[in-house]
Chains A and B, each alone.
Chain A
Amino acid sequence: MKQRISLGRNIFIVSNYIFLIFLSFLCLFPLIHVLAISFSSSSAAASGLVKLWPVDFQISSYQYILNKPEFIQSVLVTLKRVALGFTINLLMSVLCAYPLSKERSSFRYRTIYAWYFIITILFGGGLIPWYLTVSETGLIDTIWALVIPGAVPVFNVILLLNFFRGLPKEIEESAFMDGAGHWRVLWLMYIPLSLPSLATISLFTLVGHWNSWFDGLILMNFPDKYPLSTYLQLVIINSDPMKMSAGDIYKYAEISDRTTRAAQIFLGALPILLVYPFLQKYFVKGIVLGSIKG
């Protein structure tokens, strides 16, 4: 049985396509615009000639940035932070999600532990006590300040534990029958079975650590210890002359140049753009499975 497609329906279909394609362009446009500016000459950028394609194509702003020791230094800090933070966060998520995914019948203290975790979402001490605690534990100005305080990502734990609960109980029961313990069940059965969900939280963790800037700003006293995002905050956002001393103005005068700023924005986004296509196919599935459960 075929429905007759009316004229109004056709108009709707066509305009819907146009509208949604325009919308996706709107999400991509700012990045293309910034990319075009970064490859243009300073004078073309300053006179507003650049739209979506570079004018007077050149790569001098990239050469300038990649030769700047501060930039390279902050990239190194970020790489260290991402490597450490990613490993620790993923390990913690798995280790916490597995016990919490158990039924009360097989893990009696589950409810107590679950509340212990939930309370940290519901209530927090706020910025100042948190800062003072981190400071008291002696992490200020070390790379661990960016890794340890946020080592347990409670939302990722929840995402993962909901996925774990969806796995059939029979597999683990038969493994226990065969004499396997919890550690073996976790490493040999749960982890291989939850790769989509792990890919999701991997993406969130990697992106989260790459993008984090506020902890770097308040926990690091010296700009040479800043991770990339914090450094970019300094040179892209905070290059306002009002906020700087005379020496700083001289130092940052060049950086506040529009093409250089654009190039730094693009370099900051590049790793995310690179991992995005690979992990994108997993995260939709992972989020949906983690949040709406049957």
Chain B
Amino acid sequence: MQKREGGFTSPPDRFCNRQGGEEILHFIKPRSSKRLREFPLHIMLLPGVLILFVYSYIPMAGISIAFQNFYPTNGLFGSDWIGLKNFRYVMQMPDIAEVLWNTIYIATMKIIAGQIVPLSIALLLNELKNQLVKRGVQTLIYLPHFLSWILLGGILIDILSPSEGIIAQILRTIGIEPIFFLGSNQWFPYVMVASDVWKEFGFGTIIYLAAITGINPTLYEAAIMDGANHWRQTWHITLPGMLPIIVLMATLSLGNVLNAGFDQIFNLYSPAVYQTGDILDTVVYRMGLIDAQFGVATAIGLLKSVVSTILISISYYLAYRLANYRIF
């Protein structure tokens, strides 16, 4: 194992030698104290830069697989180049339109619900005056965020089971025939959205609560002087005060339009609900790693990456223009 680690770090040393050599040259010159100052900063970044190079940048170059009749034994660039044939194959796949629609439909519903629910809950939480209850509620609603979709998926499968699940029992007692939520094409997308909102809404409130806390309290005092009731205070002070954050979160979520949630859907779907539940990521997984159709799977992944990159870039640009937000 250690040998492997050594082998892992040695090839990139060439880069560091080149850079280091350059640094040392300036090191000798007397006027280069600034470069000397900066030298440790380069060293600090070096390991991170190398790892990103290998595991982020080389895979970026690996999208060339999408244009090849790819055989893994030939290396990343050794197979026959076949132009856009893989992409034509993707376009002719019978259910590709359905998969694309499922992806956008589920993701968009998640984005919208994932904005509205945390925002509303944050407003309601802000009305709690008892700090102990408020803290307790917050602690509990953040919790599902930290559990994986394996565990929550296992729990959902159990709860939603049409034979022994507790939901089925409740439905039976009120006289409704149990529904197989995870096996029904009609219900599946909505179960995905609802359970995703259930997992993430608490965590989403953090940022909105912080925005509420940042509002100047004198505004409320002035409003009370003017006779504004609580609804009007919420409408005219709290919400406008939160607007920059709301705009920011909305624009940043734009980049997720093609992310319907692989972890969740992969663990909850089955061939019975491919019609409404199969998404781009699950198709890429099945075609690439199960059926070993590397070229076609990479082509789908590339199309998704390109659209996502455009969307994320637009969203960062909008966030910068509208909310003066910069990630760095």
Contacts and interface: CB of A to CB of B under 8 A. Distances in A.
Contacts of B28: none
B143 A236 contact: no
Contacts of B8: 137, 144, 148
Interface residues on B, range: 35 or more
B257 to A, nearest CB: 15
A212 B151 CA distance: 11
Interface string A205-231: 001001111100010000000000100
Nearest to B138: A284
Contacts of B65: 128-129, 132
Interface in B125-154: 125, 127-130, 133, 136-144, 146-148, 150-154
A16 B124 contact: yes
A171 interface: no
Given A26-B198, A27-B198, A288-B210, A268 B150 contact: yes
A58 interface: no
A87 to B, nearest CB: 13
B150 A132 contact: no
Main secondary structure of the interface of B (DSSP, over half): helix
A82 interface: no
Given A34-B155, A120-B56, A120-B57, 18 more contacts: A24-B137, A25-B140, A27-B143, A33-B155, A33-B158, A118-B327, A122-B309, A124-B56, A129-B60, A130-B55, A130-B62, A133-B55, A134-B55, A229-B150, A237-B153, A258-B158, A261-B158, A292-B245
23 contacts: A3-B224, A12-B127, A21-B133, A23-B121, A27-B143, A28-B143, A96-B45, A99-B42, A108-B38, A122-B312, A123-B305, A125-B58, A125-B63, A127-B301, A128-B289, A148-B55, A152-B52, A211-B148, A212-B148, A213-B150, A261-B158, A268-B150, A276-B143
Interface of B: 1, 4-5, 7-8, 37-38, 40-42, 44-45, 47-49, 51-52, 54-63, 65, 72, 75-76, 121, 124-125, 127-130, 133, 136-144, 146-148, 150-159, 164, 166, 169, 198, 202, 206-207, 210-211, 214, 224, 229-230, 245, 262-263, 266-268, 270, 281, 284-285, 288-289, 294, 297-298, 301-302, 304-305, 309, 312-313, 327-328
